[in-house]
A and B are shown apart, each in its own frame.
Chain A
Amino acid sequence: TTKDDAKDDAKKEAAGAKANPDAPLKKGLKLAFLPKQINNPYEQIVDKAGIAASKEFDATAKEVGPSDAKASSQVSYINTLIQQKQNAILIAANDPNAVCGPLKTAMKQDIKVVAYDSDTAKDCRQLFINQASSEEIGRSQVQRIAKQVDYKGQIAILSATQNATNQNTWIKYMKDELKDPKYKDMKLVKVAYGDDDDQKSFQETQGLLKAYPKLKGIISPTTVGVAAAARYISSSSYQGKVVLNGLGTPNQMRKFIKDGTVEEFSLWDPKKLGYLGAYAAAALASGQITGAQGEKFKAGELGEYTVGKDGEVILGPPTVFNKKNIDDFDF
């Protein structure tokens, strides 16, 4: 069998049951959050917010997860969640495909699957709660840094791991955006990988600046990377000479905004992501929606959301943090 034969294997699933938009949220639902890794600080915030939100509609929610960010470890957790007959699984996938098999098994047993933060393959979940449109994140990163470097000079990207799906999607849109003639004087010289490891990201930043002395800007669309890069730049002679932008949490970046190392960065509110995820899962499990495009559901105080193409629900545009507003946030 080769790749080409295999494509025919893909089966078309019959459209699921009808959605009933007026169905009330069921009581006593069991929701489970499965983060990439149990001690991922960012996802902890998401999950805790989601668990808190579940109380609003009398569901019991829990967070379980592996102590390492490996796809294989998530699989055994999914299997046990199926055994435990949860009503919905919310997962931030370490590998979009590796978790597919068991997730499909879950869906067959009428367990709803919602991906958040990091998507799985499209046919392995009903919904993907996207923090923001991937395309918008990717393009806006380039647009913002371009303004900061005045549409001139070399830039680089400091990503997480080589295989991080969300990162790679964003980077794809960044490269696409850069094709626009208005960026003709800008050049993306390198994509470096900090593996979402503080030390590695730190060292990669150093290396970038050494290898490309004319570097004008770095985009780091990962919270670990951007913080590490900021820390390196702030303590080096590059401070003020190199622009850093990316996705980071206000608490991590406050110091560098204040000392001028970083002018601005962006992120969505992870608490809202968790909140929305919980409501979306509940809506699915109660039959309000099925994950088809165009369906609408209410997410508590966040208001109404519409399911987009491929089952995507978009939280909203990211917040841009800078000197003026950073003290209004604490996460």
Chain B
Amino acid sequence: MSKYLRWDTAVGILLIAVFLTGSGTTEGFADTGNLSSALNDTAEIALIALPMTLLVVAGQVDLSVASMLGLSSALAGSLWDAGWTFEMIVPVCLLVGVLGGLLNGWLVTRIGLPPLAVTIGTLTLYRGLASVVLGDKAVADFPEAYGKWAASTETVPGTFIPYPIALFIVLAVIAAVLLHSTGFGRSLYAIGAQEDAAHFAGIRVKRIKLALFAVSGLVASFAGIVYTLRYGSARADNGLGLELTVIASVLLGGVDFNGGKGTLGGAVAGVLLIGMLNNVLTLNDISGEIQVIVTGLLLITSVLTPRVVAVLSERRHRRAAAVS
């Protein structure tokens, strides 16, 4: 596999296979309306997966993203309730997102705490703040004018792509270029693979990590606004537990949790694969728990397959070497 087919490519192929099988066997799947809504349902996960991929490549992780999404949503709701204009609310939410990300980054780079530990802590904190901000209220009277930008029924003219997904595509291209063709991207791989060596090579490890966490917070809070508009509902518990789905998608795409390996395309394919598969399964009346099992099995397969292939090719090599 390592030689002829990388796992991220395999996920891409799997995605296409699911798409083709779905169109062939499942009534209503290839319908543009269905595709729009299925795609739109992955919008927040897809958006957050972009900075998450960069973080994981750099050997970091941010578990607080879903809580930040909730905090941003709660904040948007309570400010809206207080009569703020939407044009004011969005920058405030994004600012809070950046600050939250900076706090994560500061704890990781300055105090030197492991990111997993830090962001489990801020996961609790940000979700708690969301509930402080909005309490048991649910704010729902957001204007149609904004809601439609996030709805799956409004698409980019001439396509079945809803606006959040269009935005995601643009950001994904930027992130891909950043990760794969710039010095910054190279630094991320170096930091993820061997932080000390990156530091000794003059790479500004701490600053880069700080920036990554800040971007992660920013995107998460932005996803919070998309979420709020898309569902027309601001609540403190919005996006609860989404962090593991995001991470599962990224890992499914072949990004190595230990850092230093993986591609952005793989991560995006991972996100879409889970989304499409769930859509096909739901259309076939396969209930939630089976979908969960399928996701889990896919995840295990994603790491097991490359291993098995590697072991097999190793065997073949050894046999060949022994013969020659």
Binding site for B on A (CB under 8 A): 1-7, 9, 38-39, 62-68, 70-73, 75-77, 79-80, 82-85, 95-102, 105, 121, 161-163, 165, 168, 193
Contact A162-B143, Cβ < 8 Å, known A71-B233, A73-B288, A84-B28 = no
For B150-177 the 0/1 string (1 means CB < 8 A from A) is: 0111000000000000000000000000
Residue in B145, B238, B240, B291 whose beta carbon sits within 8 Å of that of A67 in the complex = B291
Residue in B29, B138, B292 whose beta carbon sits within 8 Å of that of A96 in the complex = B138
Of B12-20, B181-189, B193-201, B275-283, the one touching chain A: B275-283
Enumerate chain B residues within 8 angstroms of A1, measured Cβ to Cβ.
85-87, 143, 145-146
Can you offer 23 A-B residue contacts whose CB atoms are under 8 A? A1-B87, A2-B84, A3-B81, A6-B142, A7-B141, A9-B143, A38-B288, A64-B282, A72-B41, A76-B278, A76-B279, A79-B37, A80-B282, A80-B283, A83-B31, A84-B27, A95-B231, A95-B233, A97-B138, A101-B153, A162-B131, A163-B236, A163-B237
Q: How far is the CB of B47 from chain A (nearest CB, A)?
A: 14
Enumerate chain B residues within 8 angstroms of A4, measured Cβ to Cβ.
83
Residue in A2, A9, A70, A97 whose beta carbon sits within 8 Å of that of B140 in the complex = A97
How distant is the Cα of A313 from the Cα of B197 in the complex, in angstroms?
69
Enumerate chain B residues within 8 angstroms of A80, measured Cβ to Cβ.
28, 34, 279, 282-283
How distant is the Cα of A165 from the Cα of B237 in the complex, in angstroms?
13
- A162 engages B153 (CB within 8 Å): no
Contact A67-B289, Cβ < 8 Å, known A163-B236, A163-B237 = yes
Contact A77-B282, Cβ < 8 Å, known A6-B141, A71-B231, A95-B231 = yes
Identify 4 new A-B residue pairs, CB closer than 8 A, beyond the known A84-B28, A97-B231.
A39-B289, A68-B241, A83-B28, A121-B140
Contact A79-B34, Cβ < 8 Å, known A3-B80, A65-B288 = yes
Q: Does B21 contact A (CB under 8 A)?
A: no
- A163 engages B285 (CB within 8 Å): no
How distant is the Cα of A82 from the Cα of B29 in the complex, in angstroms?
11
- B227 engages A162 (CB within 8 Å): no
Residue in A3, A70, A121 whose beta carbon sits within 8 Å of that of B241 in the complex = A70
Within 8 A of A (CB), among B267-310: 278-279, 282-283, 285, 287-289, 291-292
Enumerate chain A residues within 8 angstroms of B151, measured Cβ to Cβ.
101
Chain A: which residue is nearest B45 at the CB level?
A72
- A67 engages B292 (CB within 8 Å): yes
Q: Does B38 contact A (CB under 8 A)?
A: yes
Residue in A6, A71, A72 whose beta carbon sits within 8 Å of that of B143 in the complex = A6
How distant is the Cα of A2 from the Cα of B278 in the complex, in angstroms?
37
Contact A64-B285, Cβ < 8 Å, known A2-B85, A80-B34 = yes
Q: How far is the CB of A259 from chain B (nearest CB, A)?
A: 33
Q: How far is the CB of A97 from chain B (nearest CB, A)?
A: 4
Enumerate chain A residues within 8 angstroms of B144, measured Cβ to Cβ.
6, 9
How distant is the Cα of A222 from the Cα of B287 in the complex, in angstroms?
26
Enumerate chain A residues within 8 angstroms of B114, measured Cβ to Cβ.
none
